[in-house]
Amino acid sequence: MDAFVITGGKKLKGDISLGGAKNVAIKICLASLLTDDELILHNVPRISDVTIMLELLKHLGVSVLWQEDILRIQNGNVKKFHVPLEVGARLRTSSMVLGPLLARYGQAIIPNPGGCRIGARPIDRHIEGLRQMGATINYNSSDGYFYAKTDGLSGITYTFPKNTHTGTETLILASVLAKGRTILKNAAEEVEVDDLIACLSQMGANIKRSNPREITIDGVSILGGTEYSIMPDRNEEVTFAIASAITNGHVTVYKSQRNVLGVFLDTFRKAGGVVDAVDDHTTIYARSGQLHATDIVTASYPGFMTDWQAPWAVLMTQAVGVSTIHETVFESRFSYVQEIKKMGAEIEYFDPNIPEPENFYNFNWKDRIQGYHQGIRIKGPTKLHNAILEMDDLRAGATLVLAALAAPGESYIHGIEQIDRGYEKIEQRLQKLGADITRIHT
């Protein structure tokens, strides 16, 4: 197992370019199942989540070829419809293979999805949609597999009961080849969904966002290949912006996604961050003096993303006053708190007073484990110190790296396979900014 050794306390300065968006790349890779023609993809991040998805596709019979920075994917020999447990259980988005397999081949057997352990991550929202489109889907609790079949999917009007990014994309992937029109209401607004829509449209799909939270798909009989460039990863940009502020440095981000970071940038400025727009796709991040406390409530796009709250929490350990974070998207996303408390952070849990939590929260309130909390208070500024730390999910992993960069002394971070899931060569890129970070094998 690998670990990071970080000697913190150094100001990060320099230039960095964003990689491709993880939350687009793995979905567009799945779209290869919808055509026999080749997909030629640019700006695909070489991260473990993408590698696992490609392993899944190769198991099904899809051809995968890297040519330097270009990924070529071609279907045409799919004869297996069974995703092995050892592949599917490592990636929560493996459940999304249901959509294209049912649409194209009428059958699929998939394991309960894995990936990072953030709450229950229910897939009931897109299972129900696929059933309404004409699929029979049964779950066998003894072996942990979903068994799905259909004689043909048909278009429906479906309203998601809660916001769901992967649910929206699963039904999009199922609907593009379905018979008739599908209208998805209360659909996810995330820009990554729109990037998937743009790629599918180039492949010949008839799909549009008819309203901010409504997507209309008219099924077609066949899709073709295309050449497409994945959008840059806005979550990376947030990480580097926070890295600049927490180390009192300045970082220039190329391929900036500033136009889709509105609520983050507003909050960053209020907290004392500096955002200098050089041009449409170049942004300099820094800070002006003392940081200020903030109150955050996570929400689906265009709100403050749940993926940003853990890195934001470590930044608020350096702000004057008491900051709060109210997590509304997942029921369990404060696993990092105990780790950064080891470094001297002053954080306490609290439970926001919500009269109708089942309606307010985006997760299924009835599935929430007793003893979990939805809010934290962070008292600052606190002088962080070095520690031995353990990652257990992707964004928490980025948080611990940020904390270690800010803390004087030598910190060890274990479980870094989590950060490899979403950040390509993160230690090499941070080294170019002046970070003292080394990957070691333990």
Token digits for 198? Answer: 């743009």
379 vs 19, 117, 157, CA distance in Å? 33, 27, 47
* Structure-token pair, residue 403: 């904390």
pLDDT tens, residue by residue, 27-74? 999 999 999 999 999 999 999 999 999 999 999 999 999 998 999 999
Across the chain, mean pLDDT equals 93
Confidence of residue 120 (pLDDT cuts 50, 70, 90): very low
For 322-362, how does the pLDDT look when each residue is reduced to its tens digit (9 = 90+)?
A: 999 999 998 888 989 999 999 999 999 999 999 999 999 99
CB 34 within 8 A of CB 223: yes
Q: Per residue in 267-303, pLDDT tens? A: 999 999 999 999 999 999 999 999 999 999 999 999 9
142 pLDDT more than 90: no
Place of tokens 């995330």: 190
Q: 56, 116, 188, 391: which one is catalytic?
A: 116
Answer whether 72's CB lies under 8 Å from 105's CB: no
Longest CA–CA separation in the chain, Å:
64
Q: Where are the domains of the chain?
A: 2-19+232-441, 22-229
For position 118, what pLDDT does the model report? 37
- Judge whether residue 370 has pLDDT over 80: yes
182: three-class secondary structure by DSSP: strand
Q: Give the C-alpha separation, 323 to 296, whole Å.
A: 8
Q: How confident is the model at residue 186 (pLDDT cuts 50, 70, 90)?
A: very high
To the query of whether residue 116 is one of the catalytic residues in this protein, the response is yes
Give the rounded distance of the alpha carbon of 306 from its chain centre: 9
C-alpha dist (Å) from residue 390 to 398, 405, 407:
11, 15, 16
Residue 342 per-residue DSSP state: T
pLDDT grade for 422, boundaries at 50, 70 and 90: confident
Q: What is the DSSP secondary structure assignment for residue 34, as one 8-state letter?
A: G
Burial class (CB in 10 A: 0-12, 13-18, 19+), 193: buried
The whole-number average pLDDT for the span 372-400 is: 90
Region 2-19+232-441: CATH code: 3.65.10.10
Q: What is the pLDDT of residue 141?
A: 84
Is 197 in a helix, a strand, or coil?
helix
Q: Kindly report the CATH class assigned to 22-229.
A: alpha beta
Q: Rounded distance, CA 170 to CA 164, Å?
A: 10
| pLDDT tens, position by position, 74-86 | 998 788 898 888 8
Q: Say which residue, 114 or 342, is predicted with more confidence.
A: 342
pLDDT at 115 over 80: no
| Structural tokens at position 324 | 């709060």
Determine the pLDDT at residue 400.
95
* Cβ count near 240 (within 10 Å): 21
pTM comes to 0.94
Residues 154, 155, 160, 165, CA torsion sign: positive
- Among candidate residues 152, 163, 142, the one with its CA nearest the CA of residue 363: 163
String of DSSP letters for 320-333: EEEEEEE--S-S--
The length of the chain, given as a count of residues: 442
Q: Judging by beta carbons within 10 Å of its beta carbon (0-12, 13-18, 19+), is residue 213 exposed, middle or buried?
A: middle
Return the higher-pLDDT residue of 369 and 203.
Answer: 203
Instruction: Confirm whether 2-19+232-441 and 22-229 share one CATH topology.
Output: yes
- Return the bridge partners of 4, or none: 413, 439
